[in-house]
A and B are shown apart, each in its own frame.
Chain A
């Protein structure tokens, strides 16, 4: 199954990834191969098999509503950002839409 250049462009746009025309070509080939692999899986007859969404077999894993010790400091929170201001992350302006 092959993925068109336009589909690759669309997926890249959704992920906000800038691709060069060469990359578009390269990824449409690579992604098509992945889809071929999925096609192989599709050849197995799964009629009458319930889909599995989670392989752990667990259910209702829930936590009590109380504060835990997961929270980290503002300094740590911001430690990987190239730009911050008064405790905020700063990014290029976005306009609604």
Chain B
């Protein structure tokens, strides 16, 4: 008999809000002196009362909308009770029966659809460091906003898991809700793995939770190991049971952390200190409108311009690169430069989009004989003229709006018919503007 894996994923992502989920301590804890971003609320001192961070709720809704979820009109927080030193209150404020976002989906590159069960809002725990016989606790991370995204058990191999994780990471960055850095623990994965005879419709009677695995690479290795271990066990006629397992990188195998008998009993109940959230359609519409064009929508749009699939995906990698590409497309259209040629240029030459302007690469493509002006005197004349023509931007820049320099760079590029070396132009403009300032 052949067996097929049944895998569901839980992704936790830390939001990059300024303050924590239920208090106004700084949520920027990474690398900070331990226990300096703490207050009675996030230390769980008696009598302290939580207060919801609105930005975190908005960010959770953004994630939900981008994953095609329905946003719940009524949403409630609950207490998830368990005893562990990283949890000062003895419970984590999370969501259970009334999550913020329910029932979405995401399409993988392969075209396969992964159904999203829910995306809910919760808080992070403190950070434990094990040292000899002691455990050290830092509560700077306690109460940092966390969104948990739970899929249906729709994954059947690790390739899908890789693609899904990559897509979520990209999405979080596009939405600007998290740095989603897996090394730093901004984004963490848990997997529920089981195996069933191929063709069987019902879910297996057990599932193995892979938890506390702090590297994406190890998680993939653990899933692969579990698929093999479970398949072999079933082939031998052994019965598998519900349990939680971790990953031992030295032995390159999973190990039992908690059996069914020791399973947690979280005794969820509604958090009495937090009033319910009632979201009206207007607010949800407003957030929907604020969403950027999503990475997969971008690459689909590029594909329609007859750009090769892999290039379409590449230029949509980050929101900054895709904006650069969009600008280049616009200019390219005016000058009859084909979208695929622009994509080629970006993929092959990897221009530094901080320094080069989209108009410039169009010029480059147009007259391959690169007529770049990089003569300092010549550029300085053009830069002075651009400042003269756009005093407002010059003033803005001097007042601290760093972005205002883009308009001036644009001016120089226009004056030079796109031939000026944008990197140098920026340097020269900065020098000139700072001179005038002093």
Contacts and interface: CB of A to CB of B under 8 A. Distances in A.
B85 A91 contact: yes
B33 interface: yes
A86 to B, nearest CB: 7
Interface string B125-161: 0001110111111110000000000000000000000
B406 interface: no
B18 A62 contact: no
B25 A70 contact: yes
Interface residues of B, number: 56
B34 A87 contact: yes
Interface string A51-62: 001101011111
A97 interface: yes
A63 to B, nearest CB: 5
Given A77-B139, A91-B137, A97-B258, A53 B51 contact: no
B51 to A, nearest CB: 5
A74 B140 CA distance: 10
Interface in A51-97: 53-54, 56, 58-74, 77-78, 85-97
Given A60-B275, A70-B25, A91-B135, A96 B212 contact: yes
Nearest to B273: A54
B381 interface: no
Nearest to B266: A14
B257 A77 contact: no
B135 A92 contact: yes
A88 B54 contact: no
A16 interface: yes
Contact of B130 (A54, A69, A89, A93): A93
A95 B274 CA distance: 33
B24 A67 contact: yes
B39 interface: yes
A72 B38 contact: yes
Contacts of A91: 85, 134-135, 137
Interface stretch (B76-84, B191-199, B233-241, B382-390): B76-84
Contacts of A69: 24
Contacts of B53: 62-63, 65
A63 B50 CA distance: 10
B272 A63 contact: no
B359 interface: no
A89 B137 contact: yes
A15 interface: yes
A97 B130 CA distance: 14
A77 B42 CA distance: 11
B257 A97 contact: yes
Interface in B76-129: 76, 81-85, 90, 128-129
Contact of B19 (A58, A67, A87, A93): A67
Nearest to A96: B212
Nearest to B56: A65
B276 A68 contact: no
A46 B93 CA distance: 28
Given A56-B275, A90-B136, A97-B244, A77 B43 contact: yes
B165 interface: no
A96 B125 CA distance: 14
Nearest to B132: A93
Nearest to A13: B83
Contact of A14 (B25, B82, B277): B82
B33 A87 contact: yes
Interface of B: 17-19, 23-26, 33-41, 43, 51-57, 76, 81-85, 90, 128-130, 132-139, 212, 244, 246, 257-258, 265, 267, 270, 272, 274-278
Interface of A: 10, 14-16, 53-54, 56, 58-74, 77-78, 85-97
Given A95-B130, A97-B246, A97-B257, 16 more contacts: A16-B83, A60-B275, A62-B52, A63-B24, A64-B55, A65-B53, A68-B23, A68-B25, A70-B23, A70-B24, A77-B43, A78-B35, A88-B138, A91-B134, A93-B132, A93-B133
Q: Which 3 interchain pairs have the tightest Cβ spacing?
A: A68-B24, A65-B55, A88-B136
